[in-house]
Homo-oligomer: A and B are copies of this chain.
Amino acid sequence: MKLADFLLTSVPFSQEELNDILSHFEKEYVKKNQVLIREGRVCNKLYFVDLGMGRSYYLKKDGKEVTQWFFGAGEFMSSADSFFKQTPSFYYLEILEDSIVYSISNENMDFLLAKYHKMEKFIRLLAIDILSNVILKLNAIQFQTARERYDYMISEFPDISHRVPLSHIASYLGMTQETLSRIRRNDS
């Protein structure tokens, strides 16, 4: 879904409001492997993935990467609490394929939030959607077997396994890549 449609789907902005809002976003072409924000830095942009995909991840003390989330086309991508609270990010944000994104700075977002009551509503709804998704994942991790988590992911994101390295998917699912490899082998 495109950014304009995404905005309109949850809040009925007028054409004029929509144009104003969109004008505060900037189109960016981002190359594969580019890091958008690093752990410990304040995330001052919110991204909408128009085409391509990205992920958030962090490093464990032993230096291993742990994928926290994947962001596909038609989704907002950011270190949400860092962006909205202007606190240091716990995560890295990285682009996984050559992508087109629309970004908005924190200053522009604050401007729009202050200007439009409807913009506050839009972001509130966005935050609640993200929250639902995180809660779903928390339940999956806490109470499903490695196999069940994998099956769920495949049913939800059938193409992801062809687009990103196994190791990213494994850490996203909270298991080692060896375990994921074995699960895959036993596929029917």
Chain A interface (Cβ < 8 Å from any Cβ of B) = 58, 60, 66, 68, 80-81, 84-85, 90, 113, 117, 120-121, 123-125, 127-132, 134-135, 137-139, 141-143, 174
Contact = CB atoms under 8 A, between A and B. Distances in A.
B80 A131 contact: yes
Q: How many copies does the complex hold?
A: 2
A163 to B, nearest CB: 22
Nearest to A85: B128
Contacts of A90: 135, 139
Contacts of A117: 117, 120
Closest 7 CB pairs of A and B: A120-B120, A127-B127, A124-B124, A81-B132, A117-B117, A142-B174, A138-B138
Nearest to A142: B174
Contacts of A125: 84
Nearest to A138: B138
A128 B174 contact: no
A123 B113 CA distance: 13
Nearest to A66: B143
Contact of A120 (B121, B129, B174): B121
B81 A128 contact: yes
B127 A131 contact: yes
A127 B85 CA distance: 12
